[in-house]
Structure 1
Amino acid sequence: MDRFLLIRHPARNHYLLRPRSALIVTGLSWLVVNVEVAPMIALMIQDLQSGNWNHCKDFASLKGDVNTLGYSLGLTLTGYILPLLGLCAFSHQIAHLLHVQEKALQRRTTSYKRPLRVVASAAVMFLVLYTPYHVLRNVRIASQEAWGGLQLCTMKYIEGLYILTRPLAFLHSVINPVFYFLMGDKFRELLFAKLRKLRQSLQRESA
């Protein structure tokens, strides 16, 4: 949404682009996230108490007063599906605006293919890294239900696949800031300039 508004209102005349609005949106986002994870924290505490505080399980293996499957599906809806739909909708709007601007310019001194690639790459990265985790987490929780009737071997395979998707999902938090850092001309040029200076200084020292 922030990228869409920056393209739609390049002069920053939209109220959501003001610092005060950014602080309010950020605060509300943190509040929503903490409300969402509060039941998970309660489940973790109950599970630790039942295990004498010496065995910490992952979320998909927790048992407690909260309906784990229903809660997990709710997290998938609010923490994955809705953000994904928003990301796709705003990415589509960004692509539409860029195409309109490109057609409006008689002299095309600037290409819009690169920002389109950035928008598309961000959406694909979110989809590829998070989809396996959310799908396998819910499958893993459902496989432990009595009505599932799965064999122990099948449950172990599901658990193994789920474990593999966890670091893949959390990798998004590492790749995303680096991705946008390298996509920006200014930051990339500064980085390369620093690396060139470092290489030159090392060459002088070795000489």
Structure 2
Amino acid sequence: MVTPDDYLDLNLTWNDYTENDNFLRASKIFLPCMYALAFAFGLIGNFLVLIIYIFCEKLKTLTDVFLVSLATADLFFLSTLPFWAYSAAHEWIFGSIMCKIIRGLYTLNLYTSMLTLTCITIDRFIAIAQATKAHVSQAKRMVCGKAMCILVWVVSLAFAVPQFIYSTQANHDKSICHALYPSHLTELGLKVLQLTLGFFIPMLTMIICYSVIIKTLLHARSFQKHKSLRIIFAIIVVFILTQLPYNLLILIRSIHLDFYLDDNYTAAVVITEAIAYLHGCLNPVLYFFIGVKFRKNFQKIIKNIRRGKHQGIMKQWQTTEEEGSKTCTASHNVEATSMCPL
């Protein structure tokens, strides 16, 4: 998962370049545009996910609960993008307190998203690959799943605490929001922990579990019954493809500080970071094009909105017609009264 550390720290090194002005100007346009795109589509899409799974599906399955948790985490992530967009285009003007909050929410999303996807993977693995051992009532599974969601958020919040503590606004050639660690060893340790627990271990778990799941389904006659698995698998694949390049660059930079001064590395960071930011708006797209249940509920919502508008127009027309009839009757009565002798 993406963190803003690399881009914000690069602000310090970019100021030393005079020959890289064109790249800097381009990035000040490119990054805010990407942030705005992800924010707009992600906000609409994830709110739609919450409406459909909470109000239409009523959280009928454990997967629905996990997907709502994932959409909530994405909304936390998306709420930070307007701040990073302005900072990328100009500078950080929101103060140290907001810096701590924004970076903390950012890291909270990092762990919550990955741990939730890991929970979904393990749940599918137990339900499909370990079907003989998965004879647990739906009620118990729902209780356990909700407890796991709460645990995921608590653990994620605990891992986000360093960002709330060490993040601050700093003034160099311009104001930036970054993490000021006590030492490089502390920074390296936290980033290795973040990449290990927040990315590589969950990714390894997903690869192993889904390899077994796919093998199991290929040997099963009821493969068509597991079409709903496609949406979960697609979410995880897209997440890995969008997050892996950026996280690898972060790991390389943490180990080899000389990459700070490499122009090609700087360009790679900006591009992969922009790709990674898109994950917040991609999940709802996957739900729509792959999830049949999601698409049907979305179509129902659109039909209800159109029906509501049509009924509103009909009521307005009927009201107008009634008022016109009353006016006509009143005017007729006035005429009849005026013709009566005094």
Partner of 1:30: 153
Partner of 2:286: 179
In 2, Cα distance between equivalents of 1:136 and 1:41? 24
1:188 maps to 2:311: no
Partner of 1:85: 204
In 1, Cα distance between equivalents of 2:281 and 2:305? 25
3-state DSSP of counterpart to 1:57: strand
Partner of 1:20: 143
In 1, Cα distance between equivalents of 2:234 and 2:152? 24
Q: 1:44 to 1:157 in 2, by over 3 A?
A: farther
Question: 1:124 is matched with which residue: 237, 253, 257?
Answer: 237
Between 1:63-72 and 1:116-125, the stretch displaced more is 116-125
3-state DSSP of counterpart to 2:220: helix
In 2, Cα distance between equivalents of 1:184 and 1:34? 30
3-state DSSP of counterpart to 2:278: helix
> What's the % identity of the aligned pairs?
22
TM-score by length of 1: 0.68
3-state DSSP of counterpart to 1:13: coil
Give CA deviations for 1:47-97 in whole Å, capped at 9, x if unaligned: x2x549x82335xxx432152222212111100001101111221232123
In 1, Cα distance between equivalents of 2:123 and 2:226? 19
Partner of 1:63: 180
Q: 1:88 to 1:112 in 2, by over 3 A?
A: farther
Cα pair 2:166 2:180 within 8 Å, conserved: yes
5+ long unaligned stretches in structure 2: 1-121, 314-342
Q: 1:16 to 1:129 in 2, by over 3 A?
A: farther
3-state DSSP of counterpart to 1:83: helix
In 2, Cα distance between equivalents of 1:199 and 1:40? 46
Amino acid at match of 2:253: R
Amino acid at match of 1:128: L
Q: 1:25 to 1:117 in 2, by over 3 A?
A: closer
Q: 1:100 to 1:159 in 2, by over 3 A?
A: same
TM-score by length of 2: 0.44
Q: How many residues align?
A: 186
Max Rg structure? 2
In 1, Cα distance between equivalents of 2:308 and 2:146? 42
Question: Shift of the alpha carbon at 1:193?
Answer: 5.4
